Amino acid sequence: MKNIFLKTAFLSFTFLALASCSSDKESNEEVIVDPPTQDDPLTTQNAANYMVDANATKETIALFYNLKRLAKTKIAIGQQDAFLSFYKNTAGESDIKKATDNDPAIIGSDLSFVTDIRNDGTSSNWFYQQEVKIATQIKKAYAKGIINTVSWHLRGPKNKNYLTDNEEYTFNSSSMFEADKSIFFRSILPGGSRHEWFKGKLDQVAAFSSKLKGTKGELIPIIFRPFHEFDGSWFWWGADFCTPEEYKTAYKFTVDYLKNTKGVHNILYAFSPDRTYSTSTDYLSRYPGDKYVDVLGMDNYGDFDNQGTTGANTANSKLKIISDLAVAKVKIAALTETGYQVTSSNAPINDWFSNYLYSALTSNSIEVSYVMFWNNDENGYYVPNGSVSNDADFKTFSLKSKSALLNSLPKMYVMPK
């Protein structure tokens, strides 16, 4: 996982787009797809039956269906905070667009500032200003036809013995007192001492999600990724700090509370460990169940950290596991976070995008709907910005047959006919 404060802050179906859905050209015409084959259970009529939320908005159901279909032919490519964070702070168009002349197909945001205890909701408050920027990014992306995914680096609940009323832990377990690490996650579960605190945070998530609306007043769908990278222990919700059943309880409560108690119906729910698993049994050890998950993801930086073909093959084998599970469960598979950060002391790797990453995403007939790179910042980049030495490598990657930036992305929020 990459610390957000150090970085700011795709059945053989063919989508035939009658018109491009890009920042430069719009159309009211819909995407046409071939009818499903006999061995595919998913149809335009029953898509909601395979989703967490059977009462999801029509745009959210369309996003689920189209993401599932997309994996047969394309992989949506995007980046965290693509409209907010840039290499060397060169603002303007996203760095992906600077490098390729096309917008990303998916953009990631985070709710850390939205739920921070210091966010008082006033226009002069810095944390609220960040919330507004995040909401603006999501709305801008949706208006262009871009997919939105949202992570949540939730700051830990305060311990009243030594934190002030306006203070919380960070999300990193390394900053917490040892005595607290074993109790904080358990304390947010039903019946725990901080359960009401956690419900308050979910109230903020619900309020934020419900304010995300398009120009016609429709709710903007988001892919929500709570408690990610849980198989590691760098976050206070990590494997060292809760049992598999405790993790499942927290995840299930999160979904049930947002969907049933708060009536939020514009969310797809993503389950995304880090790369530590090697079998489907490992991957599913903390899986809350099909009724609670829409997206089967994986965050993976380590296998791509200058590991060459060996690392790419290892990553592909892990993606194959979730791809097979997604086919069996009728879910979406994704590489929810990845990247190789280039800095002044970390040189680019030749053909990293066009060879190693692309092979990991496409070998062995896997079906991955999207891949998201972490965000660029002043000191380094995960995606070239058109003025660095590996621009050509990324451009080659973006032009490969299964790669999709926004210019080759179908209409994701309209159910095809």
Report the pLDDT averaged over residues 86-107.
97
Model confidence pLDDT, tens digit, residues 311-343: 999 999 999 999 999 999 999 999 999 999 999
Q: How far apart are CA 97 and CA 406, in angstroms?
A: 10
Specify whether 229 is catalytic: yes
Contact between 395 and 100 under an 8 Å Cβ cutoff? The reply is yes
User: For residues 353 and 16, which has the higher predicted lDDT (pLDDT)?
Assistant: 353
Please give the model's pTM, rounded to 2 decimal places.
Answer: 0.90
Nearest to 1 by CA among 151, 138, 129: 151
Query: Region 182-197: what's the mean pLDDT?
Result: 92
**To which H or E segment does residue 268 belong?**
strand 267-271
Helix, strand, coil percentages in the chain from 3-state DSSP, rounded to 5: 40, 15, 50
- Its CATH class, for the domain covering 4-408, is alpha beta
Nearest Cα to 77, choosing from 289, 335, 379, 356? 335
Structure confidence by residue, pLDDT tens digits, 261-290: 999 999 999 999 999 999 999 999 999 999
| pLDDT score for 205 | 98
- Which pLDDT score, from 0 to 100, does residue 71 have? 97
334 membership: H or E segment, kind and range: strand 332-338
Q: In terms of Cα–Cα distance, which of 303, 286, 275 is closest to 359?
A: 303
Between strands 380-381 and 342-343, the pairing is: antiparallel
Q: Catalytic annotation on 59? A: no
User: In angstroms, rounded to a whole number, what is the distance separating the alpha carbons of residues 8 and 4?
Assistant: 6
DSSP line for 27-81? -SPPPB-PPPPTT----TTTGGGGSS-TT--HHHHHHHHHHHHHTTT-EEEEEET
Question: pLDDT for 67-79, tens place per residue?
Answer: 999 999 999 999 9
Query: What pLDDT score was predicted for residue 50?
Result: 98
Antiparallel, parallel or unpaired: β 267-271 and 222-225: parallel
What's the whole-number average pLDDT of the chain? 90
What pLDDT is recorded for position 350? Answer: 97
Q: Which residue has the higher pLDDT, 24 or 303?
A: 303
Mean pLDDT, rounded, for 192-221: 97
Neighbouring residues of 5: CB distance < 8 A, sequence distance ≥ 6: 170
Contacts for 156-164: CB closer than 8 Å, 24+ residues apart: 156/180, 156/184, 156/236, 157/184, 157/187, 157/188, 157/194, 157/197, 157/198, 158/117
pLDDT in tens, 48-58: 999 999 999 99
* Strand segments (E) across 73-163: 75-80, 106-110, 147-151
User: 363: burial class by Cβ within 10 Å (0-12, 13-18, 19+)?
Assistant: middle
What was the pLDDT predicted at 400?
A: 98
Residues 222, 413 contacting (CB under 8 angstroms): no
Cα within 13 Å of Cα(135), Cβ side:
18
3-state secondary structure of 16: strand
Residue 92 has pLDDT above 70, yes or no: yes
pLDDT tier for residue 417 given thresholds of 50, 70 and 90: confident
Positive or negative, the CA dihedral 274, 277, 279, 281 is negative
Which one of 168, 229, 246, 378 is the catalytic residue? Answer: 229
Give the three-class secondary structure for 271: strand
Indicate the domain borders of the chain: 4-408
pLDDT digits (tens, 9 = 90+) for 34-51: 444 446 799 999 999 999
**Catalytic residue chosen out of the listed positions 93, 337, 367, 378:** 337
Is the per-residue pLDDT at 123 higher than 80? yes
Query: What is the percentage of the chain residues whose pLDDT exceeds 70?
Result: 88
